[in-house]
Structure 1
Amino acid sequence: MLPFYKKYWRTAFDIALIVLTVYLIMFAFSYVYRIATPIFFAFVIFICIEPLAKLLNKWGIKKSIASGISVITFTLVILGAFSGAAVLIKNQGEALIDKFPTYQRVFAEQVGNLTAELETQLDRLPSDMNLSEEAENLIAGATANVQSWAKGFLTWLIGSVSSFSSFLFNFVLGIILAYFLSIEIKTWKQTASEKTPRTFKTAFFFLRDNVFRGIGSYLKAQLKMITITFVVILIALILLRVENAFVIAVVAAIFDVLPLLGVSTLFIPWIIYLFIVGKVSLAIWLSALLLVVIVTRQILEPKITGDSLGVSAFTMLAFMIISLSLFGVAGVILSPILVILLKSLYDQGYFHRWIRPPAGEYDAPAKEQDNELSHP
């Protein structure tokens, strides 16, 4: 073991420093996010209101008035949309939760009937074995777990939109800060340009060119894709006269955000349930809807998203899960940025300079081999 440690200790030390740096960044961000949440809200709101404020300012309106008009417009649109969505999610979510026991009972009864019919066709089964009871018990346990998980998810969703006070406080402070930031943005840019050290400027330009622009374009593209998915599913469910269509479409959109999951995570169990309980027509229509959503996404995604960020869905989801466990919501917010940053650093060769490889473990590049042959 000693030769192994001698060979790899430098490499392990360099990797440990990078991991420690990432951990400290995540820890610092999660701490700052907890104590300064309105400031992060302010930056997001500023990004949303500044285009309109700039446009009005170009038309000759004073910047303070233009920013005020933009803030008021943004506030009315967001509060109106959020309030309406919150009411629908709360009402339809509670109605859906109340019907879960009925769905479970119907599903268990239908499976019991199917197994009882199967039992009558199988004369070779032992006389002391009641297949229908065994199946009912198995299905009851499985559906209870699914029901518990679904109730927990919907309860979390309803609770998130119902606990409006904390969000409203941060949102109001964020709007106020965003308004003043919109007015003072030129002063802040000038101060940053004059007072920021060159090293930090270089780091900022690297992040801007290699990380922030890519993430911004990716988020815009994903928002378009999620909106298309939500609208298609909502309209289809309304046409099919499915109850609680809005909350189901919202849940489908949430699953569509998550890497590796997608709307199939919601629709496939639902379709299987409908086939078992005898609602074949609705199951077929939902299967067609799922196929349409998947095909539409496969066709539109390359055109909307353009170049990929170059990070696999598994890597992104795994990093988000670990970040959520360690740092909460702040970790989920920062994790995509860090993953893209690490990918950019690797692509541009920084890791090759920062991490010293163990001696003799990698072949020398062809150019170095030629030099060695020409100068023995």
Structure 2
Amino acid sequence: MLSFYRKYWRTAFDIALIVLTVYLIMFAFSYLYRIATPIFLSFLIFLFIEPPARWLCRLGMKKSIAAGISVLVFTLVIVGAFVGAGFIITSQVTTLADKLPTYQKILVEQFQVNASLLEQKVDGLPPGVVDKSQEVIGYITNWGKNLAVMFLKSLGGYLMSFSTFIINFSVGIILAYFLSLEIKEWKQVAREKTPNTFKKAFVFLRDNVFSGIAGYLKAQGKLISITFAVIFVSLLLLRVSNAFSISLLAAFFDILPLLGVGTVFIPWIIYLFIVGQTSLAIWLSVLFLVVVLTRQILEPKITGDTLGVSAFTMLAFMIISLSIFGISGVILSPILMILLKALYDQRYFHRWIHTPKGEFETPSSPVKEPDSIP
């Protein structure tokens, strides 16, 4: 055991140092996000208002007026989208949550009818088996109902409690306006006052991380929009109530790795088959297959291998980040995962982490050392 520690202590120390660095970055970001949420929102808003403001400036308009018009248009669009979508989602989600106990009761009653018919047809089936099965089904459906109600009620509560977000967003819009006016001065200060080490780090992040994240977000936005549109139009044609909220919920799960729209459709389809709504269940099964096949066909063409991080790794890291750092951890986790993947691909980890001698095969050809970064 002592020889094991002697061989691996340096490797363990290097890995622990990298893990500690990642933890400190996550901790610092989560702390700053809590105390300066409007500032982070202002950077995001700035990305949307600056292109129209620059375009208006090129037409001969003063920057202050151009930025004001861009902010006004952006605010009107966002407020209109939030008010309209928030009203529809809140009402439909609340209605759907209130109906879940009724759906659960129908499911149990339908199973009891089917179990009685099965007991009559199969003479050798003991009556106790049917009773036990009913208890199990009742427990499972009740647990699923409670879980779904809790999720939908929480979602509705988040949508209705926008007071803090509205305040932060309003302050963020004001900060984004002033940032648009002063962006040239800030860029000049950054060029003159930033140390070369941080400049190299920024160039590395820009070339290997930010561009990949921007491309990935655009691609996922297109895929999610297609998923939402297909499901929403199909549910309207099938005359399904709460079509908007169901489509939005399916699009939300479509964002998450390893989950997808099957999280909504599979339990729904099983329920419809059990309660005897076979026609709707078949149509939803066809819709589910169409959505899955469409995504499988379009995803390689739209996204390709933008991230290069497996779905399991990304989801696991997001869950851990959410548990430790909250929503700020979820925001930062994709950026850190892409950064770590870029560092690994460019063999920085191979230089930073000392591997024990004799544990790995030596490459036949020398490896080119990467350019130094901090």
Distance in 1, Cα, partners of 2:33 & 2:18: 22
Following TM superposition, by how much is the alpha carbon of 1:262 offset from its aligned partner in structure 2, in angstroms?
A: 0.2
Q: What is the letter of the counterpart of residue 222 of structure 2?
A: K
Distance in 2, Cα, partners of 1:152 & 1:193: 51
Structure 1: 5+ residue stretches without partners: 369-376
Distance in 1, Cα, partners of 2:204 & 2:283: 49
Following TM superposition, by how much is the alpha carbon of 1:307 offset from its aligned partner in structure 2, in angstroms?
A: 3.5
Distance 1:237 1:362, change over 3 A: same
Q: Is the 8 A contact 1:111 1:135 kept in 2?
A: no
Answer with 13-22 or 115-124: which moved more.
115-124
Distance 1:296 1:191, change over 3 A: same
Residue 360 of structure 1 aligns to a residue whose secondary structure is coil
Q: Is the 8 A contact 1:112 1:135 kept in 2?
A: no
Within the alignment, does 1:11 sit opposite 2:11 as a pair? yes
Matching residue of 1:209: 207
Q: Is the 8 A contact 1:113 1:132 kept in 2?
A: no
Distance in 1, Cα, partners of 2:301 & 2:357: 46
Matching residue of 1:122: 122
Counterpart of 2:164 (choices 163, 166, 191) is: 166
Distance in 1, Cα, partners of 2:274 & 2:361: 60
Within the alignment, does 1:325 sit opposite 2:350 as a pair? no
Following TM superposition, by how much is the alpha carbon of 1:367 offset from its aligned partner in structure 2, in angstroms?
A: 4.2
Alignment RMSD = 1.0
Distance in 1, Cα, partners of 2:58 & 2:208: 30
Q: What is the letter of the counterpart of residue 348 of structure 2?
A: Y
Q: Is the 8 A contact 1:112 1:136 kept in 2?
A: yes
Matching residue of 2:80: 80
Q: What is the letter of the counterpart of residue 79 of structure 2?
A: L
Q: Is the 8 A contact 1:259 1:317 kept in 2?
A: yes
Matching residue of 1:257: 255
Q: Is the 8 A contact 1:86 1:161 kept in 2?
A: yes
The aligned length equals 366
Deviations 1:11-64 (A, max 9, x none): 000000000000000000000000000001001100111111111111111111
Matching residue of 1:309: 307
Question: What does 1:241-320 correspond to in 2, within 5 Å?
Answer: 241-320=239-318
Question: What does 1:1-376 correspond to in 2, within 5 Å?
Answer: 1-126=1-126, 129-367=127-365
Q: What is the letter of the counterpart of residue 159 of structure 2?
A: V
Deviations 1:251-292 (A, max 9, x none): 101100000000011101100110110001100110111111
Distance in 2, Cα, partners of 1:367 & 1:212: 32
Q: What is the letter of the counterpart of residue 342 of structure 2?
A: S
Distance 1:272 1:326, change over 3 A: same
Residue 275 of structure 1 aligns to a residue whose secondary structure is helix
Following TM superposition, by how much is the alpha carbon of 1:94 offset from its aligned partner in structure 2, in angstroms?
A: 1.1
Distance in 2, Cα, partners of 1:248 & 1:145: 21
Distance in 1, Cα, partners of 2:47 & 2:252: 23
Residue 357 of structure 1 aligns to a residue whose secondary structure is coil
Answer with 287-296 or 168-177: which moved more.
287-296
Q: What is the letter of the counterpart of residue 88 of structure 1?
A: I
Distance in 2, Cα, partners of 1:367 & 1:213: 31
Distance in 2, Cα, partners of 1:70 & 1:335: 31
Q: Is the 8 A contact 1:45 1:174 kept in 2?
A: yes
Q: Is the 8 A contact 1:97 1:151 kept in 2?
A: yes
Matching residue of 1:371: none
Q: What's the TM-score, normalizing by structure 2?
A: 0.96
Answer with 146-155 or 252-261: which moved more.
146-155
Q: What is the letter of the counterpart of residue 161 of structure 1?
A: L
Distance in 2, Cα, partners of 1:99 & 1:367: 66
Q: Is the 8 A contact 2:228 2:247 kept in 1?
A: yes
Distance in 2, Cα, partners of 1:175 & 1:288: 44
Q: Is the 8 A contact 2:232 2:244 kept in 1?
A: yes
Following TM superposition, by how much is the alpha carbon of 1:161 offset from its aligned partner in structure 2, in angstroms?
A: 1.0
Following TM superposition, by how much is the alpha carbon of 1:112 offset from its aligned partner in structure 2, in angstroms?
A: 0.7
Deviations 1:75-114 (A, max 9, x none): 1101101111111111111111111111011100111111
Deviations 1:218-248 (A, max 9, x none): 0011011111111111111111111111111
Q: Is the 8 A contact 1:10 1:356 kept in 2?
A: yes
Distance in 2, Cα, partners of 1:200 & 1:84: 44
Residue 140 of structure 1 aligns to a residue whose secondary structure is helix
Following TM superposition, by how much is the alpha carbon of 1:65 offset from its aligned partner in structure 2, in angstroms?
A: 0.7
Distance in 2, Cα, partners of 1:70 & 1:366: 58
Distance in 2, Cα, partners of 1:17 & 1:307: 29
Distance 1:236 1:367, change over 3 A: closer
Following TM superposition, by how much is the alpha carbon of 1:300 offset from its aligned partner in structure 2, in angstroms?
A: 1.5
Q: What is the letter of the counterpart of residue 198 of structure 2?
A: F
Sequence identity percentage:
66
Q: What is the letter of the counterpart of residue 137 of structure 2?
A: I
Q: What is the letter of the counterpart of residue 182 of structure 1?
A: S
Following TM superposition, by how much is the alpha carbon of 1:132 offset from its aligned partner in structure 2, in angstroms?
A: 3.5
Q: Is the 8 A contact 1:109 1:136 kept in 2?
A: no
Distance in 2, Cα, partners of 1:100 & 1:155: 11
Distance in 1, Cα, partners of 2:151 & 2:32: 28
